[in-house]
């Protein structure tokens, strides 16, 4: 066929036909296919708000900053799955969109901030001030480097933030909290109640005969799910961590001593020095002052001559690495106690320092910490050995060797678990101890018998597992759980009787009978609860009963469940609310909370309306690419 086409193409007619055919093909590709190559560009904008775009890079930076903040708060590193569970991506996006909406509206209204105000805000920022309380250029540069901003970018961001603040202040203004709202909030928190009450115990439910077979069957049928046996799985588990391959006894004495000498400071308190300083306007004045000291003047005399208060001389007590200025640190830690340095060209200006106190280092001797040092060295060395052992086990797993054979060959302990449910309990309801428990259970119950499972990475090593058996979930028969069903039936019957008894006794109190007389009929002791606080248990009253007392008018009666197996019957005897004192710290706190809430509501409504007017477009693909994951 190809030969025939080639022969046909040798003639003039064939060449014309071939040319037309290729033109058609090229045209069709240009229309339907190849055009996408040139038109399809990676999305670079996560959101579009009016004339403002939120770029992938901007969103990624804000997202990573929020992850770091949460990591510091929870003292852990959040995984992408945890971040999605907490809604970090959506929270960051909403924050950026809100900022963009406010910026767009501020631009529309012609709001701006002068260069002087922006500069003043930067100079007044505490994070940029040195120990002398003045703006410190070095600290400013360091903070910007830490957050990944240029000076120009930071100034622009500061200007935008201040402009948005102007708009927010104009919207909220000086809001006043309505007196009714303040009174309601004050009453809710400050009200105290008193009540007379007695408690119905389970024994007051009367004699409850043993349930009949029909009653048990009915009770069981209505609650079958509560008596269902969970799915159990049999597992073989092999754990490998650094301690299993580390050999502290093989670390030589020379290696341990070398490590000890290099990291001696960690085995005790490092040397500290209390340092005083006098900062001079110029190098010439510094040298002149030092000449006076060499001629016999004291450090304190120079300070008095320059009218420097004693407290302003104190730089502080530091270890050498804690000092910000390396020049001052080197000089101070080379001086004897009480000695004064020569003129120093410090980072923050010309300076003379004096060491007023030296706290020498206190380090544990090598013999005391030798075991710890060897263990640390062995653990570090074991990392490469751990990976080598992991690769060897993986090679054997790839050849379908059972975990039991691998464990025997490697001298490792194989954990055999005959039955475990998804919550980590055995058939007797006792917890089963297994390594990396949560991750292992999740993976094991997502696997099956005979599946070659991936090794699970743990903080210190690896865990391999095989599912060797599955016992499906099933409904337990009544005969299997007869005792438990009978116990629950009796508890339910007792609760019903106490509830009915409490209802009848409450009706008597509502009709005007004295609580003492009502309680006497059931042989209960009347008690008085005073100074009751909403949602707070007191004496033998649960928080549920106290809340119920607050929901009943004064002089009225009620009842509520008081714990697992008793019930309280009560009559409210009093309610007091202290006067609202507007100047008290508590009222001011409530006023501030309500004002902030009202401000938030106003801003939320304003932003929602502007978002609707401007139109907000979200590019989910760009958002996924920005954080490197799938939603």
327-349 pLDDT, tens digit each: 888 998 999 998 999 999 887 78
Closest listed residue to residue 434, CA positions, set 231, 235, 229, 241: 235
Burial degree of 618 (CB within 10 A; 0-12, 13-18, 19+): middle
79: in domain: yes
For residues 339 and 210, state if they share a domain. Answer: no
H or E element, residue 605: helix 585-614
DSSP 212: P
Give me the DSSP letters along 148-210. T--HHHHHHHHHHHHHHHHHHHHHH-S----HHHHHHHHHHHH-EEEEEEEEE-GGGG---PP
pLDDT digits (tens, 9 = 90+) for 193-241: 999 999 999 999 988 999 999 999 999 999 888 888 999 999 999 988 7
What pTM was computed for the model?
0.52
Q: Does residue 620 contact residue 630 with C-beta atoms inside 8 Å?
A: no
pLDDT of residue 353: 92
- Percent of the chain exceeding pLDDT 70 equals 89
Inform me whether the pLDDT recorded for 40 exceeds 80.
no
Check whether 446 has a pLDDT greater than 50.
Answer: yes
54 and 9 in one domain? Answer: no
Beta strand residue intervals within 527-585, DSSP E: 527-532, 557-561, 567-576
Q: Do 50 and 167 reside in the same domain of the chain?
A: yes
Give the residue with greater pLDDT, 536 vs 80.
536
Confidence of residue 17 (pLDDT cuts 50, 70, 90): low
613: which residues sit within 8 A by CB, 6+ positions away?
Answer: none
Residue 187 lies in a domain: no
Last residue of a domain, one of 316, 334, 360: 360
Task: Confirm whether 427 is domain-assigned.
Answer: yes
| Domain final residue, candidates 454, 472, 490 | 472
Look up residue 520 and give its DSSP letter: H
For the chain, how many residues are written?
631
Number of structural domains found in the chain: 5
101: left (phi over 0), alpha (psi -120 to 50) or beta: alpha
Q: Is the pLDDT of residue 4 over 50?
A: no
Rounded to the nearest 10 degrees, the angle between the axes of helix 585-614 and helix 179-190 is 130
pLDDT band at 404, cuts 50/70/90? Answer: confident
Mean residue pLDDT of the chain comes to: 83
Between 70 and 511, name the one with better pLDDT.
511
Q: How far apart are the C-alpha atoms of 88 and 609, rounded to whole Å? A: 24
The three-class DSSP label of residue 558 is strand
Measured distance CA(195)–CA(85) in Å, rounded: 45
Domain interval for residue 490: 192-226+481-576
pLDDT classification of 630: cutoffs 50, 70, 90? very low
Residues 244 and 376 in one domain: yes
**519 close to 198: Cβ distance less than 8 angstroms:** yes
Residue 183 lies in a domain: no
Q: How many CB atoms lie within 10 A of CB 346?
A: 20
Confidence of residue 8 (pLDDT cuts 50, 70, 90): very low
Q: Does residue 143 lie in a domain region?
A: yes
| Same domain (yes/no): 375, 466 | yes
Asked if residue 155 and residue 102 are part of one domain, the reply reads yes
Considering the domain architecture, whether residues 34 and 70 belong to the same structural domain is answered as: no
| Any domain includes 237 | yes
Q: What are phi and psi of 561, to 5 degrees?
A: -65, 135
Q: Tell me, what's the pLDDT at 20?
A: 53
Say whether both 31 and 53 belong to one domain.
Answer: no
Task: Please report whether residue 583 resides in a domain.
Answer: no
Q: Residue range 62-87: average pLDDT? A: 77
- pLDDT of 243: 67
Domain final residue, candidates 328, 360, 392:
360
Query: Is the pLDDT confidence value at 559 over 90?
Result: yes
Most confident of 64-68, 412-416, 501-505: 501-505
User: Residue 226 has what pLDDT?
Assistant: 87
d(CA 555, CA 241): 68
Phi, psi of 437 (to 5 degrees): -55, -55
The answer to whether the CB of 355 falls within 8 A of the CB of 273 is yes
pLDDT score for 29: 43
For residues 161-176, average pLDDT: 79
**Cα gap 546→541, rounded to integer Å:** 7
**Per-residue confidence (pLDDT) for residue 382, from 0 to 100:** 65
Alpha-carbon dihedral of residues 109, 114, 118, 120, nearest 10 degrees?
A: -140
Residue bearing tokens 């379908």: 400
Q: Which of 61-70, 346-355, 379-388 has the lowest mean pLDDT?
A: 379-388
pLDDT of 11 higher than 80: no
457 with 557, same domain?
A: no
Tell me the CATH number at 305.
Answer: 3.10.50.40
543-561: b (≥16 Cβ within 10 Å) or e = eebbebbbebeeeebbbbb
CATH of the domain at 75: 1.10.4030.10
Claim to verify: residue 354 and residue 439 sit in the same structural domain: no
**pLDDT tens digits, 172-204:** 777 788 889 999 999 999 999 999 999 999 999
Q: Are residues 377 and 342 in the same domain?
A: no
Asked whether residue 31 is assigned to any structural domain, the reply reads yes
Indicate whether 53 and 161 sit together in one domain.
yes
- Residue 93: pLDDT band (50, 70, 90) is confident
- Residues with Cβ < 8 Å from 154, sequence gap 6 or more? 144
User: How far apart, in whole angstroms, are the C-alpha atoms of residue 424 and residue 407?
Assistant: 23
Q: Alpha-carbon distance 223 to 207, whole Å?
A: 24
- Alpha-carbon distance 68 to 61, whole Å? 11
Convert 295-346 into a string of H (helix), E (strand) and C (coil).
CCCCHHHHHHHCCCCHHHHEEEEECHHHCCCHHHHHHHCCCCCCCECCCEEE
pLDDT in the model for residue 216? 92
Q: What is the mean pLDDT of residues 450-459?
A: 84
């Amino acid at each position: 066929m190809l030969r025939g086409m080639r022969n046909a193409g040798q003639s003039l007619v064939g060449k014309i036909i071939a040319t037309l055919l290729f033109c058609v093909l090229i045209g069709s590709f240009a229309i339907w296919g190849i055009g996408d190559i040139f038109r399809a560009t990676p999305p670079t904008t996560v959101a579009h708000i009016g004339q403002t775009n939120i770029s992938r890079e901007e969103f990624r930076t804000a997202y990573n900053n929020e992850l770091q903040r949460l990591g510091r708060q929870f003292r852990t590193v959040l995984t992408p799955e945890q971040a999605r569970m907490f809604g970090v991506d959506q929270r960051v996006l909403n924050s950026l969109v809100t900022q963009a909406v406010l910026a767009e509206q501020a631009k529309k209204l012609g709001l701006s901030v002068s260069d002087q105000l922006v500069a003043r805000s930067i100079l007044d920022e505490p994070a940029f001030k040195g120990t002398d309380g003045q703006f410190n250029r070095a600290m400013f540069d360091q903070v910007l480097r830490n957050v990944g901003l240029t000076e120009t970018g930071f100034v622009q961001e500061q200007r935008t933030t201040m402009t948005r603040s102007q708009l927010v202040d104009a919207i909220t203004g000086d809001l006043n909290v309505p007196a009714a709202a303040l009174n309601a909030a004050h009453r809710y928190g400050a009200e105290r109640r008193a009540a007379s009450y007695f408690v119905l115990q389970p024994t007051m439910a009367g004699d409850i005969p043993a349930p009949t077979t029909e009653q048990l069957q009915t009770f069981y049928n209505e609650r079958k799910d509560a008596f269902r046996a969970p799915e159990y799985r049999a597992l073989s588990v092999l754990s490998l961590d650094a301690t299993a391959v580390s050999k502290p006894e093989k670390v030589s004495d020379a290696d341990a001593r070398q490590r000890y000498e290099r990291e001696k400071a960690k085995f005790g308190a490092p040397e500290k020095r209390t340092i005083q300083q006098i900062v001079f306007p110029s190098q010439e004045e510094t040298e002149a002052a030092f000449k006076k000291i060499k001629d016999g003047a004291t450090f304190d005399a120079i300070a008095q001559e320059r009218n420097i208060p004693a407290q302003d001389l104190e730089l502080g007590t530091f270890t050498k690495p804690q000092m910000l200025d390396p020049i001052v640190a080197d000089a101070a830690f080379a001086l004897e106690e009480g000695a004064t340095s020569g003129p120093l060209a410090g980072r923050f200006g010309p300076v003379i320092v004096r060491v007023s106190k030296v706290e020498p280092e206190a380090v544990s001797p090598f013999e005391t910490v030798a075991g710890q040092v060897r263990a640390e060295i062995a653990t570090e060395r074991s990392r490469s050995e751990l990976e080598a052992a992991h690769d060897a086990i993986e090679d054997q797993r790839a050849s379908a060797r059972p975990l039991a054979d691998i464990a025997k060959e490697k001298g490792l302990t194989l954990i055999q678990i005959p039955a475990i449910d998804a919550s980590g309990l055995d058939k007797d309801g006792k917890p089963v101890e297994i390594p990396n428990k949560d991750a292992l259970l999740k993976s094991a119950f997502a696997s099956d018998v005979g599946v070659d499972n991936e090794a699970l990475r743990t903080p210190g090593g690896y865990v391999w597992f095989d599912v060797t058996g599955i016992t499906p979930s099933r409904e337990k028969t009544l005969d299997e759980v007869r005792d438990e069903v009978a116990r629950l039936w009796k508890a339910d019957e007792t609760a019903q009787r106490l509830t009915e008894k409490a209802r009848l006794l409450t009706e008597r109190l509502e009709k005007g009978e004295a609580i003492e007389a009502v309680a006497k009929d059931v042989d209960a002791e009347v008690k008085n609860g005073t100074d009751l606080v909403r949602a707070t248990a007191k004496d033998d009253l649960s928080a549920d009963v106290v809340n119920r007392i607050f929901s009943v008018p004064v002089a009225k009666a009620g009842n509520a469940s008081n714990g697992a197996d008793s019930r309280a019957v009560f009559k409210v005897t009093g309610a007091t609310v202290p006067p609202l004192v507007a100047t008290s710290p508590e009222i001011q706190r409530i006023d501030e909370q309500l004002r902030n809430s009202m401000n938030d509501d106003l801003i939320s409504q304003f932003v929602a309306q502007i978002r609707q007017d401007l139109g907000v477009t979200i590019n989910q693909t760009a958002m996924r690419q920005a954080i490197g994951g799938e939603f």
